[in-house]
Amino acid sequence: MGERPAIIVGQCTPAILQQAALRGSSVPYCDGDIIEVIITQQQIAARIAELAQQIAADYRDKQLVLIGVLTGSFVFLSDLMRQLDRPCEVDFLDASSYGNSTVSRGQVSITTSLNLSLTGKDVLVIEDIVDSGRTVSELVRLLQAHHPASVKVCTLIDKPARREIPVELDYIGFVIPDQFVVGYGLDYAQCFRNLPFVAVLDEDVAVPKPPTSE
């Protein structure tokens, strides 16, 4: 993907650090963490334009409803819908994975407070990233119960190496290897969502950095 600039994040997220400090959080994990950009802002914009064109053509005669999966997908959804040259409705679902190592590891919790009726409509789920596939498969199952005409899935990023549940992805922005990525809506411990590109975190990001001797 061409040149990949390394960036020191701490210098561009002072507001986040300040918020963390106000919350009494022991972070500041953002400060000085080195990330490597793997998908640039320009690459994201170009790919979204292509996806939007494809989706607009595929849903030409349909009643399209975009369902964003909170929180990560809101950035992707807002850019995608503004490139979409056709009418659509928008709603959100809140999904989060939870678990501890002994009991419910890998389970997905979905909070649904959909404002729209989906009956007879064509639903397109908008995800930030598909990893194990658990979230998407659970979401599709839940949405089917609302009797839509169809349910399809559009994800900005696909990480197929870690798939545990087979899922059908109808629109994919980028396929990446098994790496933990942040930016463009994707977080690490709620940080980094505001970065305008997608980046890989330095592998020692979560480890407190010892003071240097110099």
Binding site for ligand IMP (CB under 6 A): 72, 97, 127-135, 159, 180-182, 186
Contact call for residue 72 and Mg ion (CB under 5 A): yes
Residue 126 CB, nearest approach to ligand IMP (Å): 11
Q: In the chain, where does DSSP find H-type helix?
A: 14-22, 41-58, 74-83, 134-144
181 binds, among Mg ion, ligand IMP, none (CB under 5 to 8 A by kind): ligand IMP
Select from Mg ion, ligand IMP, none the partner in contact with residue 118, using the beta carbon and a kind-dependent cut-off of 5 to 8 Å: none
Is position 131 annotated as part of the catalytic site?
Answer: yes
**120: phi > 0 → left, psi -120 to 50 → alpha, else beta; which?**
left
Closer Cβ to ligand IMP, 141 or 147, answer by number = 141
> Closest Cα partner for 119 from 63, 67, 68?
63
Nearest approach, Cβ of 128 to Mg ion (angstroms)?
5
133 binds Mg ion (CB under 5 A): no
Token reading at 87:
């009418």
Nearer Cβ to ligand IMP, position 30 or 130? Answer: 130
In terms of CB distance, is 66 or 121 closer to ligand IMP?
66
CA distance 67 to 20: 30
CA dist 153 → 68, 136, 172, 211 (Å): 10, 8, 9, 46
Given the residues 79, 131, 158, 170, select the one marked as catalytic: 131
Binding at 131: pick from ligand IMP, Mg ion, none (beta carbon under 5-8 Å per type) = ligand IMP
Measured from the CB atom, is 72 or 173 closer to Mg ion?
72
CA–CA distance, 174 with 155 (Å, rounded to integer): 8
Angle at 160 between CA 93 and CA 112, to 5 degrees: 10
Residues of the shown chain interacting with Mg ion in the complex, contacts defined by CB under 5 A: 72
Catalytic residues: 131
